[in-house]
Copies of this chain bind each other. A is one copy, B any other.
């Protein structure tokens, strides 16, 4: 398996594009994205568990009931959520895109991201559709990812090449996500494409399983979005034998999928709203996986720890505090904690109590832009990793006046 260029267009038969159509007045950024497979693809998705759901999710879920999709249409700048006419508008987006592509509206995946509770004007989307479709191309992933960004400061895309039974396959994805990120059973917008052949059923199993260890272990601010959507399309154009049951081929595919998703998670965490540092909490020695996950996620979610990391302050008591309220049943007196970055490692807690360490070394370690928080529970073999970011002045600034 190796990392390659191309994002969602790395897999055979996928084209993409992103344009500016004018969703939000006065904003000139790209705001409309399309991803298209030359042939219908098996498809699967996972969505937010928030009871307040974006209208596009309702439409996409219905369209994916048969496990088949051929294209994605997505706008940024407006979430099309909590609007009385939301579903009607989402269906309209879908049919406009399908008509322009000459495919069935039922084979469209629809998504929206941006402000909640403001009516989405379909006019600029209708106006831009011809240009969007005309510009679809095999190097279009850069434009596609630009079209789904909101407060993101960096595009997030990744692709890998891997082999199944001697056949070269590809899988790639794009993601957006910077604020309102605390996915539960899904994530912000993630679109993944692969040319590997998998049945829709196995594809659903793959994505539902992998998000538990990837996007569901990511938190920027503890707010589970209303529009979290992660969909994957597999068009089979790599030519491998259809994967329709678990086994070595499925395992190879899962490894590739996990690589894509972990990379996208890390990119989202590093680009959290206002973030200056990516935090990765690795928990090991847990008595079971549930404990490991609860502890890892509790640590990266602590506002106090996040602020301390912004200040490069080795305030490890906040790590212990977050472990203590994680809800996990554990023996506090066995916990060891260390901070690590490319500047070194510093041990700060052994057996649940503080140990002497050099504040100077700690400051150096914590002043880097990727910080690992290592937690050893010394109580078993289970481990887990969670991702987050620091809490900064800019997070407050961005969210103090998001709508204007």
Judge whether A2 is part of the interface by a CB distance below 8 angstroms.
Answer: no
Q: Are B226 and A307 in contact (CB under 8 A)?
A: no
Given the known inter-chain contacts A320-B117, A325-B184, please indicate yes or no for A308 contacting B52, CB distance below 8 A. Answer: no
- What is the CB-to-nearest-CB distance from A321 to chain B, in angstroms, rounded to a whole number? 5
Q: Which of these binds chain B: A25-33, A154-162, A348-356, A378-386?
A: A348-356
- For A310, the chain B residues whose CB sits under 8 A away are 396, 400
A329–B51 Cα distance when bound, in Å, is 8
- What is the CB-to-nearest-CB distance from A98 to chain B, in angstroms, rounded to a whole number? 27
Which one, B315, B320, B329, contacts A402 given CB within 8 A?
B315
Given the known inter-chain contacts A81-B317, A117-B354, please indicate yes or no for A322 contacting B399, CB distance below 8 A. Answer: no
Q: Which of these binds chain B: A201-209, A245-253, A387-395?
A: A387-395
A304–B84 Cα distance when bound, in Å, is 23
Judge whether A180 is part of the interface by a CB distance below 8 angstroms.
Answer: yes
- For A83, the chain B residues whose CB sits under 8 A away are 353-354
A118–B348 Cα distance when bound, in Å, is 11
The A298-320 residues at the B interface (CB cut-off 8 A) are 301-304, 307-308, 310-311, 313, 315-318, 320
Q: Are B180 and A51 in contact (CB under 8 A)?
A: no
A324–B117 Cα distance when bound, in Å, is 14
Q: Are B303 and A400 in contact (CB under 8 A)?
A: no
- For A397, the chain B residues whose CB sits under 8 A away are 393
